[in-house]
Amino acid sequence: MMNTESVIYLRDVPVYQKETMVFSNASLEINHGEFVYLIGKTGTGKSSLLKAMYAELPVKKGEAMVAGYNLIGLRSREVPLLRRKLGIIFQDFQLLSDRNVEENLLFVLKATGWRNKKEMTAQVKDVLQKVGLSTKGFKMPHQLSGGEQQRVAIARSLLNNPEIILADEPTGNLDPETSRGIMKLLIEISQSGRAVLMATHNYLLLNEFSSRIIRCEGGVIHSL
């Protein structure tokens, strides 16, 4: 039974990657403001589970509520509305190489329906300040370190004030010290009331920044 604090609720959801069943009955529940690790070996379905949550993979059975949207029978025109309530962070940053930092963020705001230039500029300034990059807006992605590029990616994920951050190996390409800085930033974000679900292989971070753990193993999700 879904509780009122839940922002992600999956119950007995089959998850498929093309024709391959990744999970036969995925079940998990995450509340507002929770920081949760998603762990498991390569190929155990972590990325597929995240893709199901942001409607990259269709969900057809079971119960599946994410940020107030029912994923069962979700219409294509509703997918952008769902994704505005989600912040998605990837391992490889996925910044536009031909635009500077501010232009990268403005591009996302335009694509998600913002029109007021003054409000857009203020929002970009606000998210860059939150990630400690308020003086780097004019820089091109190749002029930034890996950690700075990931901070831009985190700023991008915050643009639409999402309820949930889905982070897929956000420290995978970073050195240990930079990874710790990214972790502290993600934990601050969760403490502001957003749920953060972070897929990771880095068990050292789990020890240093302890929190609830969900493990993917053998087609089953275990809450540890």
Instruction: Give the pLDDT confidence score for residue 18 in this predicted structure.
Output: 85
Q: How many residues does the chain have?
A: 224
- Model confidence over 105-155: pLDDT tens digits? 999 999 988 999 999 999 999 999 999 999 999 999 999 999 999 999 999
Give pLDDT, residue 125. Answer: 97
Residues of the chain predicted below pLDDT 70:
1-2
Closest by CA to 37, choosing from 160, 148, 99, 28, is 28
pLDDT at 92: 86
Could you tell me the two tokens for 206? 């789990």
| pLDDT of 5 | 82
Q: How far apart are the first and last CA of the chain?
A: 20
CA–CA gap between residue 129 and residue 40 (Å, rounded)? 33
In sequence order, which residues have a C-beta less than 8 Å from that of residue 12 and are 6 or more positions away? 25, 26, 27, 61, 62, 63
Structural domains of the chain sorted by starting position, each given as residue range(s) with its CATH number in brackets: 32-45+80-223 (3.40.50.300)
The confidence score (pLDDT) of residue 223 equals: 82
